[in-house]
Amino acid sequence: MDENISMPLIGDMLPDMTVTTTHGVLKLPEHYKGKYFVLFSHPADYTPVCTTEFYSFAKLYPEFKKLNCELIGLSIDQVYSHMKWGEWIKENLDMEISFPIIADHGDVAKKLGMVHPNKGASTVRAVFIMDTEGKIRIILYYPQEIGRNMSEILRIVKILQIADKENVAIPANWPNSELVGDHVIVPPARDVETAKKRLEAAKKGEFECYDWWLCHKKIKHD
């Protein structure tokens, strides 16, 4: 990878880029302003694991849209390959790929660290989740031989929005946390006075607490 290229990190804005896709030329992140969106790469069209992933993403696409979230794929293949592969999936698997796929020549993949030299010249299975302003909130990388869990990516988008809206943290395995069930975590108190108030609030039933630094509460969610 070019040493002069600095990969964006969580909290950075997705770099401005103009991309060629199966839906025409798009400007990112501008095209999705006001929406969350998932940008994900796959090693190549017409490959078994990638086909299962696109089928799964397409099946869950309506659920992503309910969360005001769009999908956009990417690989270092020509747009014609993307289009024909999409036709094959529709004709043979009865699933339409209705979100765009970027035909990258390597520029986007390099900017986002999607090509790992020790894994060959194709992109690994990277996932970038952006918020409504185009800020990178989640980065995931999978090796080429491991398919992703799209239900988990959908869950991530949902809990990211909950955390933002409610100003809370999300426990492990939510909404099935072994410690707090479907409750969310109240951010820890940062001073003595707030810690005392936190325990007083717990006594009144506003929170449930294991201690002043580990409190949780119920919220409404779908």
Active site residues: 50
Q: What H or E segment, with its residue span, contains residue 39?
A: strand 36-41
- Residues 217 and 209: their CA atoms lie apart, in Å, by 9
- Residues 70 and 38: their CA atoms lie apart, in Å, by 6
Question: How many other CB atoms are there within 10 angstroms of residue 82's CB atom?
Answer: 22
Is there a contact between 148 and 127 (Cβ–Cβ < 8 Å)?
yes
- Residues 211 and 143: their CA atoms lie apart, in Å, by 40
